[in-house]
Amino acid sequence: MAKLKLGVYWAATCGGCDVSILDTHERVLEIVEAADIHFWPCATDFKVKDVEAMDDGFLDVTLFNGAIRNSENEHMARLLRRKTKVMVAYGSCSAFGGIPSLANFTTREAILKKAYETTDSTVNPEGVRPQTSTEVEEGNLTLPRFYDHVYKLSDIVPVEYIIPGCPPPSDLLMTAVEAIVSGNLPPPGSTIAGKKTLCDECPLEKSDHPKISTFKRRFEVIPDGKTCFLEQGLVCMGPATRSGCGNACINANMPCRGCFGPAEGVKDQGAKMLSALASIVEFDDEDQARDLLAELADPAGTFYRFGASDGLLSPKYKQGSEEEAKAEGAKVS
Amino acid sequence: MYEPKIICFYCKWCTYTGADLAGTSRMKYVPNGVVIKAMCSSRVDPQHILDAFSKGADGVLIGGCHPGDCHYVTGNQLTYKRIEMLKRILPEFGVDPKRLRLEWISAAEGRKLVNVMNEFTDDLKELGPARQAVAEEV
């Protein structure tokens, strides 16, 4: 059998997903045995022009990690989509928006203002901001346009498979590689992970009718390591998060943060978590319940920590809208 | 003239019967609501509410039994806690929490239902269309 042609790309991401591929340790040899890497900016020296020179559909699989944050991310997503037979959204950022998508709770203007003007370490009295195009003696310098919102990969291009996680555990990658090599692939649109929620696999002890009477944060307590985190007052995303991570956080005595996204068939992870949490918050009367819920810090950021591009109310990508904004942005930014 | 579209989730036992009473008593009120009957106000998943907003609803009204009167004993307590939390999340997505309203309306309170709908519609007219508000926000 001919070797698979593999591409790996990073968009708005931290680079942890690339490291997770190397985290397969000696099994990376199995990957290299089965596949030739044709593009991987983090680890190899192929350039964008090499990708542009490929025939359409040349790559068999592309592992695309990172959200779509700027015009370069979008351009590369579209380019790689054309060159790839099977597009895999690899990691929470490309699957659900990930940590970068928390920017959807604020505005582009507020982000740029914070980063270039108001942080304590910034000295920028003239309010200089990066420009998408700058004329210098040597010629014209360009930068990608910073979008108003953060999108997940499937908002921009069709995606065949999702491998979630922040970063995805290496055994899920190996499962995917084995599936691709053997041709025994799940139906397109599948998520390569568990189907149920993390609670379903969690080894901690749970009572039948848990109650929360106070909210605590992880730095305030040391969990006992035996009882369900929720019963100890810590928000654990287990009830609303897909299983398949191998309980990595739970085993390290940390509550789940929700990086695997919603379970099968669920549209909105945050709404499901909100529902689950509401059902176990103690209720004596309306005032008491309201006060207790007010103690919960940053509910949106907690429930949508990895999925603020994936919720029902998340910004919807409209063809051309960012391009128009680009024309506008060129004037103001 | 802008007419807000309100999605109303009514519990079968109290609010829906209250709405029936308003109808059979021939009380006149605004026609802005689209009513969806649910077995209990707690049957309304937060996903249903978010879905309504994402598809262009200007307001969502949840009607349930008075505390202590729930047909399923504690269903409306769940609803209350969910709605309280949802109201903290909606502004992060650019939706004014005033667009989500929870009311306890019993089967005998047809008049209250009429007043709530009239009042809510007026409030929403003041807020303006939801989509436009979202577009301006972001």
Going by pLDDT thresholds of 50, 70 and 90, the confidence category of residue A209 is confident
CB within 8 Å of A200: residues ≥ 6 apart: A194, A243
| Residue A323, pLDDT score | 54
Is A128 a member of any domain? no
A214 and A168 share a domain? no
List CB contacts (< 8 A) between A267 and chain B.
47, 51
Distance from the A117 Cα atom to the nearest Cα atom in chain B, whole angstroms: 20
A48 and A152 share a domain? yes
A207 and A240 share a domain? yes
Across the A:B interface, residue pairs with CB atoms under 8 Å apart total: 78
- Give the start-to-end residue ranges of the domains of chain B: 6-137
A85 and A208 share a domain? no
| Residue A329, pLDDT score | 47
Q: Does the interface predicted TM-score (ipTM) exceed 0.85?
A: yes
Distance from the A302 Cα atom to the nearest Cα atom in chain B, whole angstroms: 10
Mean pLDDT, rounded, for A131-142: 92
A111 at interface of B, judged by CB pairs closer than 8 A: no
Going by pLDDT thresholds of 50, 70 and 90, the confidence category of residue A31 is confident
A259 and A159 share a domain? no
Tokens 């990608």 sit on residue:
A144
Distance from the B90 Cα atom to the nearest Cα atom in chain A, whole angstroms: 8
Our CA angle for A79, A81, A84, nearest 5°, is 110
Is A116 a member of any domain? no
A154 and A214 share a domain? no
pLDDT score of A48 more than 50: yes
CA–CA separation, A275 vs A314, rounded Å?
18
A204 and A177 share a domain? no
Given an 8 Å threshold on Cβ–Cβ distance, is B46 in contact with A272? Answer: yes
Given an 8 Å threshold on Cβ–Cβ distance, is B85 in contact with A274? Answer: yes
Mean pLDDT, rounded, for A5-14: 94
Of B47, B78, B138, Cβ closest to residue A268: B47
A160 and A226 share a domain? no
| Residue A2, pLDDT score | 78
A285 at interface of B, judged by CB pairs closer than 8 A: yes
Given an 8 Å threshold on Cβ–Cβ distance, is B84 in contact with A290? Answer: yes
Given an 8 Å threshold on Cβ–Cβ distance, is B47 in contact with A271? Answer: yes
pLDDT score of A23 more than 90: no
B73: left (phi over 0), alpha (psi -120 to 50) or beta: left
Residues of chain A with pLDDT > 90, as a percent, come to 76
Given an 8 Å threshold on Cβ–Cβ distance, is B82 in contact with A278? Answer: yes
Is A241 a member of any domain? yes
| Residue A1, pLDDT score | 62
Distance from the A311 Cα atom to the nearest Cα atom in chain B, whole angstroms: 9
Given an 8 Å threshold on Cβ–Cβ distance, is A149 in contact with B51? Answer: no
Residue-wise pLDDT for B54-88, tens only, equals 999 999 999 999 999 999 999 999 999 999 999 99
Q: How many domains does chain A have?
A: 2
pLDDT score of A194 more than 70: yes
Taken in order B68, B71, B77, B82, is the CA torsion positive or negative? negative
**Residue A147 belongs to what H/E stretch?**
strand A146-151
pLDDT score of B131 more than 80: no
Residue-wise pLDDT for A174-189, tens only, equals 888 888 888 888 999 9
A55 and A168 share a domain? yes
Range of the domain at A206: 198-297
Residue-wise pLDDT for B42-55, tens only, equals 999 999 999 999 99
Going by pLDDT thresholds of 50, 70 and 90, the confidence category of residue A330 is very low
Is A114 a member of any domain? no
Assigned CATH class of B6-137: alpha beta
Residue-wise pLDDT for B83-116, tens only, equals 999 999 999 998 999 999 999 999 999 999 999 9
Is A130 a member of any domain? no
A49 and A167 share a domain? yes
Two tokens, residue A244: 């398949």
A165 and A215 share a domain? no
**Residue A279 belongs to what H/E stretch?**
helix A269-280
CB B30 within 8 Å of CB B2 = no
Taken in order A94, A95, A100, A103, is the CA torsion positive or negative? positive
User: Which residue on chain B is closest to A308 by alpha carbon?
Assistant: B93
Give all strands of the β-sheet with A4-10 in edge-to-edge order.
A35-39, A4-10, A59-65, A84-90, A161-163
Going by pLDDT thresholds of 50, 70 and 90, the confidence category of residue B138 is very low
CA distances from A151 to A93, A157, A241, A251, B41 (A): 9, 11, 20, 31, 33
A315 at interface of B, judged by CB pairs closer than 8 A: yes
A36 and A76 share a domain? yes
A317 secondary structure, DSSP code? P
Going by pLDDT thresholds of 50, 70 and 90, the confidence category of residue B137 is very low
Mutation for testing the B interface, residue in A277, A286, A304, A312 having most B CBs under 10 Å: A312
Mean pLDDT of chain A: 90
> Model pTM?
0.90
